[in-house]
Amino acid sequence: MIRVSLLSLLIRAGSILSRFVLILYLGKCLPTADYGVFGLLQASLALGVYLMGLDLYVYTNREIPRLDAADVQTVVRSQFVVHALCYALCLPLILPLLSDHFIPSQYMIGFATLLLLEHLSFEIVRILIAIRRPVYANLLILSRSLLWILPFLLVSAGHPRLLSIGVLLIFWVAGLSVALMLGVGLFYKFGLLPFQTWKLDVAFVKTAARTSAVFFAASICYKTIEFSNRYFLKHYHTHHEVGIYAFFQNIVSLMDVFLYTAVVMILLPSLIASRGPEPSREYRRRLHTLVAGILYGTLLLSLALYLLIGPFLAFVGKEEMTTNRGIFQWLLLGAALLCLSQIGHYILYIHRADKTILTASLIGAALNTALNIALIPAYGLQGAAISTVTACTAMAFLKLYYGRRIEPIRLRRILRTPSDLVRSKMLKATP
């Protein structure tokens, strides 16, 4: 398990690093207002992926580890039929809402193409994780970023006149297209393709839709907390303010990506599979390892980003970024709380306490929206940051509180987990 986690983390580090370099490069070289457009494209893609996916993966990823190969293919086939229907219904509704006011109309065709490619490749990654192929999933994630970011950086650095949102979209679409082809190849490799039929499993769709509906609503609430500030900033102010906010938020959001790669995507499938009618010793051990990974990872990453933001801002060299360093500190606190809330979230998820997750997310999203309306018009960036932190605090507290009521977590055991893992590895290595 540790070996797979380290290998996955090493692979994913390339993806995280490439994204981080892109964030700093665009922050330094793009006009801040253009970075704001980029930030709204990112937010719209993130929200659009959830709208297109309906969070069906929440149901399928909880069920796939228990299924045989034939049943897995049936689930995957039915899932993608539903996604195809969503594309036809949702795209005509999403694009007019975003065009002009939030995203300039000349970028909408590129955005629509990106949305389809992003969602399809992301669903393939999720399914690879569910069938316990984390290394391949991370290789695909690496290709989703490295295939376009590296060429874009090299070309735009050598030819500065090509540094623009339009050219960035061209490279982005090309990279995701190649990544999608690689993902389809992996589906063939693991026997998920070709489908024998495209017939829709109606019983699956009904069950998945009923189960995932709560998580879909919760995910939209979660993304509202994470991204709605950008839309409110653009509505009440300009792309310039969005650019500053998105730059800092993109940096702190890497914490969640890192933790998911190093901890959650490795431990969660086996944790779900090990949970029986009665909690076993192995289940308890894996649960405490998951919690310890999230806790220690959040603390270490928060400290690292807090110490490194100074050199990052010196590299970017923009006065508007340096003078708003306090916004970064607020957002770092919010990101840390979001990461810690995952402890309660996954406990509730494993125990199928879906409505509790939705309740906590709804309260956080409602609080975030109300504070955005109250604070952003007058206080701008600071109002947006305070809104985010307040909503994250409320949601994290509720998830942790209700998660602990379902599954008591021993702090002493959590603190001892790293030494226990090292000791167990040493014992296995002893002849």
Say how far apart CA 421 and CA 266 lie, in whole Å. 15
Inter-residue contact 266 to 4 (CB < 8 Å): yes
Q: What is the pLDDT of residue 260?
A: 82
The residue to which tokens 């979230």 are assigned: 345
The string of pLDDT tens digits covering residues 237-296 is: 999 999 999 999 999 998 988 888 778 877 887 787 777 666 667 788 888 888 888 999
Residue 408, preceding bond cis, omega within 30 degrees?
A: no
| The pLDDT of residue 429 is above 50 | no
The string of pLDDT tens digits covering residues 346-399 is: 888 888 888 898 899 999 999 999 999 999 999 999 999 999 999 999 999 999
- DSSP string covering 208-242: HHHHHHHHHHHHHHHHHHHHHHHHHHHHHS-HHHH
Contacts (Cβ under 8 Å, ≥6 apart) of 421: 2, 289
Q: What is the pLDDT of residue 413?
A: 59
Inter-residue contact 180 to 193 (CB < 8 Å): no
Q: What is the mean pLDDT of residues 44-54?
A: 85
Say how far apart CA 217 and CA 41 lie, in whole Å. 22
Say how far apart CA 358 and CA 342 lie, in whole Å. 13
Question: Using alpha carbons only, what angle is made at residue 137 by residues 131 and 141, rounded to the nearest 5 degrees?
Answer: 155
Query: What confidence category does residue 175 fall into, taking pLDDT thresholds of 50, 70 and 90?
Result: very high
Q: What is the DSSP letter of 131?
A: T
Q: What is the pLDDT of residue 427?
A: 38
Say how far apart CA 274 and CA 1 lie, in whole Å. 14
The residue to which tokens 């090309």 are assigned: 174
- Specify whether the backbone of 198 is left (phi greater than 0), alpha (psi in -120 to 50) or beta: alpha
- Specify whether the backbone of 430 is left (phi greater than 0), alpha (psi in -120 to 50) or beta: beta
pTM above 0.85, yes or no: no
The string of pLDDT tens digits covering residues 106-158 is: 998 999 999 999 999 988 988 888 887 877 888 888 888 888 999 999 999 99
Contacts (Cβ under 8 Å, ≥6 apart) of 243: 30, 31, 32, 33, 34, 35, 36, 37, 38, 39
- Amino acid at site 395: M
- Amino acid at site 256: D
Q: Residue 77: which of 208, 176, 179 has the closest Cα?
A: 208
The string of pLDDT tens digits covering residues 289-329 is: 888 889 999 999 999 999 999 999 999 999 999 999 999 99
Inter-residue contact 254 to 16 (CB < 8 Å): yes
Say how far apart CA 73 and CA 85 lie, in whole Å. 19
Q: What is the mean pLDDT of residues 204-221?
A: 81
| The pLDDT of residue 420 is above 60 | no
